[in-house]
């Protein structure tokens, strides 16, 4: 059995003392591939360094919406340079975050940088990993407008079935993480039941969003197993089948 954690932040300070052991525990839990996401140019560089050190780790590079306001003028050139490395498999995580950003001007800045990075991904023939928090309408509108030659995933999906149906029409994937295992998972299990199985990825978003039974503790890629187990229960299939389906989906989208 092989699991893939398609969304983590291994360069986070949370792992500065024991990254080696975190990767070993992931391998022991059959998590044979991990993608670590960038959120600034510097942080993307750090993600790439980790991916160069560990065979099982791949990097995504990009500016997170929360850092969009501080984007340097040459950030696209910097990202392009980093993307020359073959361990870079996506542009991410990019998108819109209206939960933390209430200012209309700054939201506009997020939209601009989101679109620029989508276009970069298309130019480089890479998928995008999209962060959408409380910005479902604008995210969907931008993805629809830019959908030609675009592929990607809406990570940590939290929207409605109507939104997800639109995303599937665009050929997008959804990423599910810890919240699927929470008692208050709301409509997520229902969405996952209805979703085409070839469109679902599993991810931890480590060090955040620890799944049950690890909720409240630092998260790490080994815990993607708990999300796979929950998905097996919801889909009424074996854990091995979930591993095979979601790993194949990750392979197809990220070319890993």
Closest contact distance (angstroms) between CB of 7 and Zn ion is 6
Residues 186-205 that bind Zn ion (CB under 5 A): 205
- Site size toward Zn ion, by CB under 5 A: 1
Query: What CA dihedral angle connects 210, 212, 216 and 218, to 10 degrees?
Result: -40
Which residue in 86, 55, 85, 64 sits closest to 9, CA to CA? 64
The CA-based dihedral angle spanning residues 98, 179, 227, 52, taken in that order and rounded to the nearest 10 degrees: 30
Nearer to Zn ion, 208 or 235 (CB): 208
Q: Given the DSSP bridges, would you call strands 152-154 and 173-176 parallel, antiparallel or unpaired? A: parallel
Q: How far is the CB of 39 from Zn ion (least distance, A)?
A: 7
In the complex, minimum distance from the CB of residue 156 to Zn ion, in angstroms, rounded to a whole number: 7
Query: x/- site string to Zn ion, residues 149 to 188, per CB under 5 A?
Result: ----------------------------------------
First to last CA, the chain: 16
Nearest distance, CB of residue 83 and Zn ion, angstroms: 19
- Name 194's Cβ contacts closer than 8 Å, sequence gap at least 6: 161
The residue with its CB nearest to Zn ion is 205
Q: Kindly list the residues in this chain that would bind Zn ion in the complex (CB under 5 A).
A: 205
């Amino acid at each position: 059995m092989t699991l893939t954690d398609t969304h983590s932040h291994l360069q986070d300070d949370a792992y500065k003392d024991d990254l080696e052991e975190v990767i070993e525990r992931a391998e022991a839990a059959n998590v044979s591939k991990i993608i670590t996401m960038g959120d600034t140019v510097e942080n993307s560089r750090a993600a790439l360094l980790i991916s160069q050190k560990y065979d099982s780790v791949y990097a995504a590079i990009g500016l997170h919406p929360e850092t969009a306001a501080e984007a340097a003028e040459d950030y696209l050139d910097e990202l392009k340079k980093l993307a020359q490395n073959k361990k870079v498999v996506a542009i991410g995580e990019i998108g819109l975050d209206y939960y933390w950003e209430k200012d209309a001007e700054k939201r506009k800045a997020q939209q601009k940088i989101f679109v620029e990075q989508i276009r970069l991904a298309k130019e480089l023939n890479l998928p995008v990993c999209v962060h959408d928090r409380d910005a479902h309408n604008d995210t969907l509108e931008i993805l629809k407008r830019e959908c030609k030659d675009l592929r990607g995933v809406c990570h940590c999906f939290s929207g409605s079935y109507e939104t997800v149906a639109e995303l599937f029409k665009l050929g997008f994937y959804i990423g599910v993480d810890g919240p699927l295992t929470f008692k208050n998972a709301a409509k997520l299990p229902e969405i996952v039941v209805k979703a085409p199985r070839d469109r679902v990825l599993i991810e931890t978003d480590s060090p955040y969003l620890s799944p049950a039974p690890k909720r409240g503790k630092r998260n790490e890629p080994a815990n993607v197993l708990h999300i796979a187990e929950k998905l097996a229960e919801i889909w009424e299939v074996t854990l091995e089948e979930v591993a095979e389906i979601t790993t194949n989906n990750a392979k197809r989208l990220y070319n890993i």
